[in-house]
């Protein structure tokens, strides 16, 4: 009864809401969101520096999230590189002195907070040629004015960055009198033109006063109230912002520290000075404001302008524009031709005569339509991760953000289950299901920032290894059983794997190795193909006639394992091979192939394990050792129960080991050898019981069919800043934002999967002569791409 209700409900949903209607809804959502964000940018301004300096919130206890953009955490080397030959000056009271110390500690963490508290404090790193000074001027008065006035003279070297602010001393010394506030207004009015003049050549920031925690203030500070501080801040903002009549003030208000203090001032030791973590956040904000536009860190989107279009990107934009125009022209012509063939009325009978003409869809129409849709999708990719139209936020990991979605998708996966068409081990539906739930877990892992939690990281490494295990298993099985080593099969696989990545490399201006998983799968596919295709070609049909061929295949696999071991422990040889041109253009990242070596080495044995498992399984299947009937256990009851027990123990043992990992480097070193334990344990648990082998989750299988597209698309339209952050389509509501962005992301991935399949049929024809011509064109295209890429690299340097 429940099954009948489920099927009826599913049929009812599919009747009213199909994949096609979902994609239309996603398109409408994208257009509305783009229009809203564009209007917001026009109304509120497009300067993310203002957001960084004035707004944000805490994620957890100590992680500050600016509004609409991402903040980079600068390392010592990065800070020195940015500030080389720079002079930064901090002018003000004890609060500014605290900010000075925190800023200097980004450059030199060993710098101690010592010396005369009520005097000037210099800092200089002679190696990096960085100079940072603190100038003690606790009041906005003539002394501060004279200090600033000296810098306005043409003959004097000016600091590159000036950070100023003061008020609490004026409140304290004058006991919070109204006359002191009036004098403060007069003094800051006289300083404002000088600051404005300096701001034309230097970066000038006025730090607004942080609130105090009045209950902790000492008796001699009780007059410093938050009401007084607000009055002083209002005076500073109104005067400094009105210092220029016809244009916006160049003096930037550093008001974000107020927001930080509101959340953390309760942790203050004296009620006046902020705790160290808050000062560090303010100093890091200053570093981001100045350095992001210089170093352009990927995960520091605040204060970064949109990157200029490269020559290749411009050509890609022209190509997609022409494709869209071409398809529209083709559509209009086709529609007019269709109108001419409309049913006409027979004057004698009064009935309609139908001119039924089944016009087949031409390859040109499919080609133009596919590139038209792809062009629109790529425009969305660019808007999300390059054009600064949509917002971005930093990731923040909590156990709940990872495990609650995992439980949710697990419930959905179990609910949507169906009977399999066949009950063989690792049948198509089961492998799609496996890919699907693994991909969903990996997506949740990425968006939640769970890589910081080592036990989760180690289990995700097993999932990536399991994908590669399936690569070895699937391609070995195909070549072993079918014996099809033709060029058409190779080209089809390579096209399906690499088409989207090649397009993204062009549109998003990223190297091929950036999308590391596709190069990994591509190389391993070619390794499998070469291993089996080289003489002597040994396939199942040949081996069945003579057992000697089985031994020959095992020798091939042994030689492959030997090559893998050699390259794994000979980094120099590996790097020499992949540093050769043009391979270097594919596998280099940041000027070297180390990242590629690390990725390859991390899962170096698992493809071999997949091939070996496929060989053993198919051999056992051929000899009818396995019982793969519906509902039957894979082996006899005793053997099945024993293997199930061993599998469960092995599975749990690996999980316990992974959960007890203390050092990522050490665990990564062991991972290649032990990951296969949990993979094989899962396969046996999933396939030994007949009832488990007879059902699969259609929910997970649906996602499994587009797993590659999901993995690649997440880089730019679900995550942001090349996976370092999260795309924000709907600000202020994280849950709704995840729902909407996920819906659009899945629809886009599904559409790209269909586009890839359509183009594969046209670009990779079965006829060998036509295929060779297409391959010549593709080779010419990549040669042109390499030439243009070289020209771009030279112009950048």
Known catalytic residues are 94, 270, 273
Cα–Cα distance measured from residue 228 to residue 223, given in angstroms and rounded to the nearest whole number: 8
Spatial CB neighbours of 541, under 8 Å, sequence gap ≥ 6: 483
Cα–Cα distance measured from residue 702 to residue 429, given in angstroms and rounded to the nearest whole number: 9
Residue with tokens 């957890």: 60
Cα–Cα distance measured from residue 297 to residue 725, given in angstroms and rounded to the nearest whole number: 12
Q: List beta partners, residue 233.
A: none
Cα–Cα distance measured from residue 550 to residue 568, given in angstroms and rounded to the nearest whole number: 27
Residue with tokens 């009864």: 1
Q: Which residues of 435-456 are buried (b: 16+ CB within 10 A; e: fewer)?
A: bbbbbbbbbbbbbbbbeeebbb
The rounded radius of gyration (Å) of the Cα atoms in the chain is: 32
Q: How many CB atoms lie within 10 A of CB 719?
A: 23
C-beta of residue 731 within 8 angstroms of C-beta of residue 531: no
Spatial CB neighbours of 667, under 8 Å, sequence gap ≥ 6: 454, 458, 658, 661
Q: How many CB atoms lie within 10 A of CB 643?
A: 17
> DSSP letters along 157-215, please?
PPPSEEEEE--HHHHHHTTT-HHHHHHHHHHHHHHHHHHHHHTTTSEEEEEPPPP--GG
Cα–Cα distance measured from residue 509 to residue 766, given in angstroms and rounded to the nearest whole number: 32
Contacts of 640-644 with C-beta under 8 Å, sequence gap 24+, read: 640/688, 640/689, 643/684, 643/688, 644/684, 644/685, 644/688, 644/689
Maximal CA-CA distance, the chain:
110
Spatial CB neighbours of 444, under 8 Å, sequence gap ≥ 6: 402, 405, 406, 409, 450
Cα–Cα distance measured from residue 752 to residue 710, given in angstroms and rounded to the nearest whole number: 10
**Angle in degrees, 0-180, between the axes of helices 517-533 and 548-568, rounded to the nearest 10:** 140
């Amino acid at each position: 009864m429940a099954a009948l209700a489920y099927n009826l409900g599913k049929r009812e949903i599919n009747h009213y809401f199909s994949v096609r209607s979902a994609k239309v809804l996603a398109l409408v959502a994208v257009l509305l969101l783009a229009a809203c964000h564009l209007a917001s940018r026009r109304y509120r301004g497009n300067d993310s520096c203002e957001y960084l300096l004035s707004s944000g919130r805490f994620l957890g206890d100590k992680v500050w999230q600016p509004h609409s953009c991402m903040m980079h955490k600068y390392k010592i080397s990065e800070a020195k590189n940015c500030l080389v030959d720079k002079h930064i000056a901090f002018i003000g009271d004890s609060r500014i002195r605290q900010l000075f110390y925190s800023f200097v500690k980004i450059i030199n963490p060993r710098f101690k907070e010592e010396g005369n508290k009520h005097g000037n404090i210099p800092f200089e790193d002679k190696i990096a040629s960085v100079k940072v000074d603190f100038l003690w001027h606790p009041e906005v008065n003539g002394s501060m004015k004279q200090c600033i006035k000296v810098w306005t003279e043409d003959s004097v070297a000016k600091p590159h960055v000036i950070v100023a602010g003061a008020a609490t001393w004026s409140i304290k010394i004058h006991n919070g009198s109204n006359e002191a506030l009036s004098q403060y207004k007069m003094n800051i009015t006289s300083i404002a033109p000088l600051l404005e003049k300096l701001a034309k050549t230097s970066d000038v920031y006025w730090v607004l006063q942080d609130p105090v925690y009045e209950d902790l203030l000492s008796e001699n500070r009780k007059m410093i109230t938050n009401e007084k501080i607000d009055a002083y801040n209002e005076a500073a903002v109104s005067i400094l912002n009105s210092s220029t009549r016809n244009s916006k003030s160049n003096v930037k208000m550093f008001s974000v520290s107020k927001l930080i203090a509101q959340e953390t001032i309760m942790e203050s030791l004296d009620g006046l000075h902020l705790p160290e973590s808050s000062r560090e956040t303010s100093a890091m904000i200053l570093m981001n404001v100045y350095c992001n536009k210089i170093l352009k860190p990927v995960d520091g989107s605040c204060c970064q302008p949109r990157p200029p279009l490269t020559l290749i990107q411009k050509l890609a934009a022209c190509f997609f524009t022409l494709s869209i125009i071409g398809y529209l022209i083709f559509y209009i012509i086709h529609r007019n031709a269709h109108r001419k063939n409309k049913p006409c009325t027979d004057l004698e009978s009064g009935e309609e005569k139908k001119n039924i003409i089944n016009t087949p869809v031409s390859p040109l129409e499919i080609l133009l339509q596919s590139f038209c849709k792809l062009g629109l999708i790529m425009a969305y990719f660019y808007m999300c991760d390059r054009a600064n139209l949509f917002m971005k936020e930093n990731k923040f990991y909590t156990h709940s953000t990872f495990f609650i979605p995992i439980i949710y998708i697990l419930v959905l996966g179990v609910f949507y289950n169906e009977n399999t068409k066949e009950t063989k081990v690792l049948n198509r539906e089961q492998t799609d299901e496996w890919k699907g739930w693994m991909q969903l877990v990996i997506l949740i892992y990425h968006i939640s920032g769970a890589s910081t939690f080592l036990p989760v990281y180690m289990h995700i490494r097993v999932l990536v290894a399991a994908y590669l295990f399936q690569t070895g298993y699937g391609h070995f099985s195909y070549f072993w059983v079918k014996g099809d080593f033709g060029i058409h099969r190779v080209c089809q696989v390579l096209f399906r794997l690499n088409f989207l990545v090649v397009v993204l490399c062009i549109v998003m201006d990223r190297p091929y190795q950036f999308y590391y998983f596709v190069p990994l799968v591509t190389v391993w596919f070619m390794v499998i193909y070469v291993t089996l295709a080289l003489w002597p070609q040994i396939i199942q049909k040949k081996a069945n006639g003579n057992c000697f061929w089985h031994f020959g295949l095992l020798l091939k696999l042994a030689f492959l394992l030997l090559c893998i071991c050699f390259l794994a422990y000979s980094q120099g040889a590996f790097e020499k091979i992949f540093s050769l041109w043009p391979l270097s253009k594919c596998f280099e990242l940041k000027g070297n192939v180390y990242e590629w070596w690390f990725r390859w080495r991390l899962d170096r044995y698992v493809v071999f394990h997949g091939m070996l498992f496929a060989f053993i399984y198919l051999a056992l299947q051929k000899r009818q050792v396995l019982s793969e009937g519906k509902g039957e256990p894979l082996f006899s009851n005793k053997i099945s129960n024993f293997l199930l027990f061993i599998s469960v123990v092995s599975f749990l043992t690996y999980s316990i080991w992974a959960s007890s990992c203390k050092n990522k480097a050490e665990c990564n070193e062991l991972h290649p050898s032990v990951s296969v334990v949990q993979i094989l344990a899962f396969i046996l648990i999933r396939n030994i019981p007949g009832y488990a082998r007879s059902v699969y989750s259609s929910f997970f299988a649906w996602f499994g069919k587009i797993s590659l597209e999901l993995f690649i698309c997440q880089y730019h339209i679900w995550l942001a800043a090349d996976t370092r952050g999260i795309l924000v389509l709907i600000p202020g509501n994280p849950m709704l934002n995840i729902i909407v962005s996920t819906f659009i992301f899945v629809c886009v991935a599904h559409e790209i999967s269909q586009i890839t399949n359509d183009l594969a049929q046209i670009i990779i024809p079965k006829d060998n002569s036509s295929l060779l011509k297409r391959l010549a064109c593709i080779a010419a295209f990549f040669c042109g791409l390499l030439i243009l890429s070289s020209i771009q690299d030279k112009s950048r340097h």
